[in-house]
Amino acid sequence: METTLSFKLFTATSELPENWDSLTTANIFLSKSYLKILETAAPDNMSCHFIGLFREEKLVGIALSQFLDLSRVNSYGERDNCAKTSIRKFIFKNFSSKVLIIGNNMLTGQNAYEFDSGLPYSDGLVLLKKAAIEIEKKLRKKGTNTHITVFKDFKKEDLHYFRLREFDEFYQFSTQPNMVFTIRDNWKNEADYINALNKKYRDQYKRARKKSEGLTKNKLSLEEIQKQEKTIYDLYYCVAKNAPFNTFYLPENHFSSFKMHLKDNFLFYGYFEGEKMIGFNTLIKNGGAVDTYFLGYDDNCQKEKMLYLNMLYDMICYSINKGFRQIIFARTALEIKSSVGAVPEKMYGFIKHHNSFINLFISRIFGYLEPELAWKERNPFK
């Protein structure tokens, strides 16, 4: 007899099945602890659904969806202000601003779902497509029509799973790559990494470290993060507002909520000049990998102290010392991350516009809305 597959939508972590975390051993970003952060400190223009996939009564898959209202943020930032940007904003607000994502728009990588080994991928994806349609119906009842549905971020080897009739109307796209730093087996400390660099990039390392002399770096506790919350937000916003493209802004309590729920798996480092915090970075331990998360800095100090570059080196040295295999540097500042040894990994997604006529031209529209980015890949190693 054929077993019945179904899904359930949840909006609160208190509603999740007790054994939810049995499927999150490979990915902290689907765990109850992480989902509590989205529940308590998500961006104002984001709402989340947690999706349980079931065979009969057994939980066989878990997933995350995020709905973003991009009309509520200045998506193209403050740096660019030209005619093309104005046209982009108009198109965005009126035709592309209500976006349902199966996955996590705050991270890079496949953080959309985990399936039990007994659930075939095709069955899991078909269920997720049905769940997305149900979420769209729920939003419509509240007066919000979804413009676009997106499944993100997948590696090339995962694409064949989407060759299903249910995804025929979706356009496969690729945006900026995920910058991934792989730690070599023979690197045991900072010196091993420095010795692997060629002369040009060893000199870059020495120059950056010299510029940062006089700064102190401290790992902050939950109480210290809460005490510095306003300063932290100002430093974060200083960086975020200058990004070429934004889909959200974090709320002020975001980092303290992270520390509260992920505890030692979330690391917050403040950079100080005397008593004044001039920058910070954050790391998330996720199995054998470290994910870099948001950072912030005073723009003047960043230039003078080469602060961003020093943060990258600090993240690398920490990860080597602690025995991690990989650093997920995500998809911003590609060239400077390349200069410290990160390598681009192409990521793919699937997108569908809910206006069938517009969907015929989604590949052209997508290319127009995606900001252009030219960068040169570096190889800093001998």
Task: Give the domain CATH number at 284.
Answer: 3.40.630.30
pLDDT exceeds 80 at position 367:
no
The amino acid present at 206, given as its one-letter code, is K
| Per-residue pLDDT, 96 | 75
pTM: 0.92
- Picking from 169, 230, 175, the residue whose alpha carbon sits closest to that of residue 358 is 169
- Beta-bridge partner residues of 266: 284
Q: Round to the nearest angstrom and report the end-to-end CA distance of the chain.
A: 61
User: Residue 304 and residue 317: Cα distance in Å, rounded?
Assistant: 22
User: Residue 214 and residue 207: Cα distance in Å, rounded?
Assistant: 14
Whether 51 is covered by a domain: the verdict is: yes
If asked whether residues 211 and 305 sit together in one domain, one would say: yes
- Residue 228 tokens read as 């510095």
Whether 244 is covered by a domain: the verdict is: yes
Q: What percent of the chain has pLDDT over 90?
A: 83
Whether 374 is covered by a domain: the verdict is: no
If asked whether residues 246 and 287 sit together in one domain, one would say: yes
If asked whether residues 152 and 249 sit together in one domain, one would say: no
The amino acid present at 26, given as its one-letter code, is A
User: Residue 190 and residue 4: Cα distance in Å, rounded?
Assistant: 53
pLDDT exceeds 80 at position 345:
yes
If asked whether residues 72 and 192 sit together in one domain, one would say: no
If asked whether residues 288 and 245 sit together in one domain, one would say: yes
- Picking from 179, 178, 98, the residue whose alpha carbon sits closest to that of residue 348 is 178
If asked whether residues 26 and 141 sit together in one domain, one would say: yes
User: Phi and psi at residue 221, in whole multiples of 5°?
Assistant: -80, 175
If asked whether residues 136 and 15 sit together in one domain, one would say: yes
Full DSSP string of 319-335: HHHTT-SEEEEETSSHH
| Per-residue pLDDT, 1 | 44
- Picking from 360, 291, 362, the residue whose alpha carbon sits closest to that of residue 99 is 362
If asked whether residues 147 and 196 sit together in one domain, one would say: no
pLDDT exceeds 50 at position 78:
no
- Picking from 204, 209, 207, 194, the residue whose alpha carbon sits closest to that of residue 381 is 194
If asked whether residues 16 and 141 sit together in one domain, one would say: yes
Whether 253 is covered by a domain: the verdict is: yes
Whether 102 is covered by a domain: the verdict is: yes
For 57-66, the pLDDT digits (tens) are: 999 999 999 9
For 27-57, the pLDDT digits (tens) are: 999 999 999 999 999 999 999 999 999 999 9
User: What's the structural domain count of the chain?
Assistant: 2
If asked whether residues 128 and 245 sit together in one domain, one would say: no
Whether 67 is covered by a domain: the verdict is: yes
**Domain limits at 35?**
5-175+347-369
Q: What percent of the chain has pLDDT over 70?
A: 92
Average pLDDT over residues 86-112: 79
Cβ-based neighbour number of residue 226 at 10 Å? 15
